[in-house]
Amino acid sequence: MAAVCTASRVLAKKVLSAKAIPAVSQSSRKLHFSVYGKNNSKVSDGMSTQYPVVDHEFDAVVVGAGGAGLRAAFGLSEAGFNTACVTKLFPTRSHTVAAQGGINAALGNMEGDDWRWHFYDTVKGSDWLGDQDAIHYMTEQAPHAVVELENFGMPFSRTEDGKIYQRAFGGQSLKFGKGGQAHRCCCVADRTGHSLLHTLYGRSLRYDTSYFVEYFALDLLMEDGECKGVIALCMEDGSIHRFRSKNTVIATGGYGRTYFSCTSAHTSTGDGNAMVTRAGLPCQDLEFVQFHPTGIYGAGCLITEGCRGEGGILINSEGERFMERYAPNAKDLASRDVVSRSITIEIREGRGCGPEKDHAYLQLHHLPPQQLATRLPGISETAMIFAGVDVTKEPIPVLPTVHYNMGGIPTNYRGQVITHTTEEGDKVVPGLFACGEAACASVHGANRLGANSLLDLVVFGRACAHTIADICTPGEKLSPLKPNAGEESVANLDKLRFADGNMRTSEIRVNMQKTMQNHAAVFRTGKVLKEGCDKMDAVYQTLDDIKTFDRGIVWNTDLVETLELQNLMLNAVQTINSAEQRQESRGAHSREDFKDRMDELDYAKPLAGQVRKPIEEHWRKHTLSTVDPKTGKVTLKYRPVIDNSLDAEDCAAIPPAIRSY
């Protein structure tokens, strides 16, 4: 409703005359693509081939209203830009709301702290695949960003003296790893994600940001290698909207839903990555997918590490506490990637649990029921609701679960989307920006540290807004756009809406998810990955045989889920092909057949006398993947990691070293 009011308010400023464009030659259905003003359009729920198109003009368009999108939209509106925010979900319902941890920032409220130590932790955490200029930018800006949020009204939890309370979180240390655990994570009790969304959404409304809620962005409008806006479907009435703008910011989140088991909501479908891929631009480092060791089997809901902290143990089909073999000292409390790998090995070797022997059990019933009820009350409810399991009697089925995507749309530290050629190096794509989980700046490199994600959202959302404010002024005239720009997207929409093949959306989706889960999960080997690539290619081809059942245009969930499947598929093929090619183990990408990291020098040995390998012979480089959407063929290129910080004197870059904790 708000969207309709907003849209008509915008249209009052810009009324267009009706123009009819002849039918698209490619589709067999006669498709009329006509541009009407909103007041004149009539859309029925019947089988109409008419797609009324409404044009909007803005100074900036943000796609996605999660933490990063809202921060960018707010920053742009505050700077005076006429900003539109196009989102398929109501802002406070974005996946950011699931975040309960906090935001890392070296404020130094709990003990002396320095952002350079945070910089070191992040570089090391990324296994030296992160771009150090972007990491420098993020960790240096972190305290400013948190203080800024506080000024916007975010009620961070406080210590008794009224300073922002900071808690400990994994991977954070003092004095470059030598000073013990750091307490850097600022939070709003346990609803940091929600508070961030609520605060930014509320504040942005005061600056007159236009929200187009429950509009599904279909594609970017690209012309001559420049991004000129976005085309979207309004779910409420089935109309098509073209948002023309000089600056488009993509903040659409991750793509956990390519896997059978993930902790992400059903909205994490990689829409932004797919839009960029269809525009012919590359995505970066998609093979780096972070797995959390204990998500509920099937459902994927996160079972917190605290369960194991309270005495819960992982067992296999033989009832054995297998972690004792893999990590004799830490046992079930070994680091996340070690536990994930151990569970996967047990399953591969035939000791998995359940009828399909495809998961492990997390046993809690040996703990006193009182302890379960008081220390872990949420777990009992979640296990009952999603696994039908009474934790006082039975174990919970768990599986390493996809949790975060380190890869995404490649950007520089200012949030501008880049492409790369060996001759010219990095080149900015004019008019296109990206931030948040959808982007790859790259601050997380091969592995993300906890509580760095919310920081990433806020810092780079802000960076996009600042960069746009630097290079543009509000009210600039837009360059002309071809009258039939976006036609292919609408043709695709129409094709899917009336698709009548043999395979349902849900069937193809489950095939993709199972292929990814079986072939590109925690445990990767060349043979298994190659099989997976071939299977994934076959699944991709079945998209041509898809069958949808809802022919309507208003609130057509079947159509939206099918569009999302197309997007997921593009992400999946890139992920598995990139993983198959990368012959080393680094961060979250671990290969059983190539167990070591392969850098330009062997950092395990003394460096003197070693010859630096050329980039073609080592793996400390970013993967850039592109797809031909018609065939599903993936092409891979590589790009060097940025090893220098923004200011060598202020913050020395960290040379690679062996990563041990």
Active site residues: 336
Q: Least separation, in Å, of the C-beta of 333 and another protein? A: 13
The CA distance from 234 to 53, in Å, is 10
User: Would you call 480 helix, strand, or coil by DSSP?
Assistant: coil
The residue range among 128-136, 371-379, 438-446, 491-499 that interacts with another protein, by the rule CB under 8 A, is 371-379
Residue count (the chain) = 661
Contact 51, 240 (CB under 8 A): yes
Distance of closest approach, residue 490 Cβ to another protein, in angstroms: 20
Q: Is 556 in the site for another protein (CB under 8 A)?
A: yes
Cβ partners under 8 Å of residue 582, min gap 6: 287, 589, 591, 619, 623
The neighbour count for residue 472, using CB atoms within 10 Å, is: 18
Is 89 a binding residue for another protein by CB under 8 A? The answer is yes
The pair phi, psi for residue 595, each rounded to 5°, is: -75, -15
User: Minimum distance from CB of 40 to another protein (Å)?
Assistant: 19
Identify residues 526-545 at the interface with another protein (CB under 8 A). none
CB contact at 8 A, 504 and 569: no
Binding mask 387-426 for another protein (x = CB under 8 A): xxxx------------------------------------
Distance CA 611, CA 69 (A): 45
89 carries a ligand binding annotation: yes
Residues 6+ apart with CB under 8 A from 655: 643
Q: Is 105 annotated as a binding residue?
A: no
* Region near another protein per CB under 8 A, out of 17-25, 147-155, 329-337, 467-475: 147-155
Ligand-binding site membership of 67 (annotated): yes
* Member of 56, 194, 241, 589 binding another protein (CB under 8 A): 194
Residue from the set 373, 471, 538, 657 that interacts with another protein by CB under 8 A: 373
User: Residue 287 annotated as binding?
Assistant: no
- Give the single-character DSSP code of 121: H
Q: Can you tell me the distance from the alpha carbon of 231 to that of 242, in angstroms, rounded to the nearest whole number? A: 4
Q: Does 633 bind another protein (CB under 8 A)?
A: no
Min CB(507)–another protein separation in Å: 9
Shortest distance (Å) from residue 332 CB to another protein? 14
CA atoms lying within 13 Å on the CB side of residue 267: 18
Q: In the stretch 502-521, what mask flags binding to another protein with x, by CB under 8 A?
A: --xxx---------------
Tokens of 54: 């409404």
Helix (H, G, I), strand (E, B) or coil at 625: strand
Establish if 304 lies at the interface with another protein (CB under 8 A): yes
Secondary structure of residue 274 in the 3-state scheme: helix
> Quick one: which of 9, 29, 266, 325 contacts another protein (CB under 8 A)?
266
Among 30, 160, 355, 475, binds another protein (CB under 8 A): 160
Q: Give whichever of 189 and 658 is closer to another protein, judged by the CB atom.
A: 189
Name residues whose C-beta falls within 8 Å of residue 586's C-beta, 6 or more positions apart in sequence: 127, 129, 446, 597, 619, 620
- Binders of another protein in range 440-479 (CB under 8 A): none
Nearest alpha-carbon partner for 456 in 66, 93, 25? 66
**From 29-37, 295-303, 340-348, 611-619, span contacting another protein (CB under 8 A):** 295-303
User: Distance between the two ends of the chain, CA-based, in angstroms?
Assistant: 52
The reply on whether position 574 binds another protein by CB under 8 A is no
Among 37, 430, 552, 640, binds another protein (CB under 8 A): 552
- Structure token pair of residue 581: 């090619």
Q: One-letter amino acid identity for 396?
A: I
CA distance 229 to 218: 11
Task: Scan for tokens 């093929």, then name that residue.
Answer: 573
- Rounded to an integer, what distance in angstroms lies between the CA atom of residue 119 and that of residue 381? 39
Question: Closest distance between another protein and the C-beta of residue 484, in Å?
Answer: 29
Does 88 appear as a known binding residue? yes
User: Should residue 379 be labelled a site residue for another protein when binding is judged by CB under 8 A?
Assistant: yes
Structure token pair of residue 341:
């790998």
Among 53, 63, 68, 187, binds another protein (CB under 8 A): 187
Interaction of residue 207 with another protein, rule CB under 8 A:
no
Phi-psi region of 259 (alpha: psi -120 to 50; beta: other; left: phi over 0): beta
Show contacts with another protein in window 92-111 (CB under 8 A).
92-98, 100
Q: Is 92 annotated as a binding residue?
A: yes
Side-chain-side CA neighbours of 642 within 13 Å: the count stands at 24
Tell me the one-letter amino acid at 243: F
The count of residues interacting with another protein (CB under 8 A) is 85
Using the rule CB under 8 A, give the single segment among 70-78, 372-380, 423-431, 605-613 that binds another protein.
372-380
Measured CA distances, 209 to 72, 89, 433 (Å): 11, 16, 18
Query: What is the closest distance, in whole angstroms, from the C-beta atom of residue 220 to another protein in the complex?
Result: 22
Residue with tokens 């009435």: 237
Q: Smallest distance from the beta carbon of 429 to another protein, in angstroms?
A: 29
Q: Which of residues 27-46 bind another protein (CB under 8 A)?
A: 45
> Quick one: 554 or 604, whose CB is closer to another protein?
554
Please identify which residue in 473, 479, 557, 635 interacts with another protein, judged by CB under 8 A: 557
- What are the residues facing 427 on neighbouring strands? 419
> Minimal distance in Å, beta carbon 284 to another protein?
26
431 annotated among ligand-binding-site residues? no
Which one of residues 56, 88, 591, 639 is an interface residue with another protein (CB under 8 A)? 88
- 98 phi and psi, to 5 degrees? -70, -15
- Name which position in 32, 203, 351, 637 contacts another protein (CB under 8 A): 203
- Count of H helices and E strands in the chain? 16, 26
Q: Determine the interface stretch with another protein among 14-22, 88-96, 326-334, 425-433 (rule: CB under 8 A).
A: 88-96
**Rule CB under 8 A: which of 220-249 touch another protein?**
235-236
Name which of 249, 262, 257, 259 is nearest 67 in CA terms: 249
Q: Which residues contact 26 (CB under 8 A, 6 or more apart)?
A: 491
Nearest residue (CB) to another protein, 8 versus 506 = 506
Q: Of 158, 163, 527, 633, which one interacts with another protein (CB under 8 A)?
A: 158
Binding-site residue set for FAD: 64-69, 87-102, 271, 437, 453-454
Pick out the residues of the known binding site.
64-69, 87-102, 271, 292, 304, 403, 437, 448, 453-454
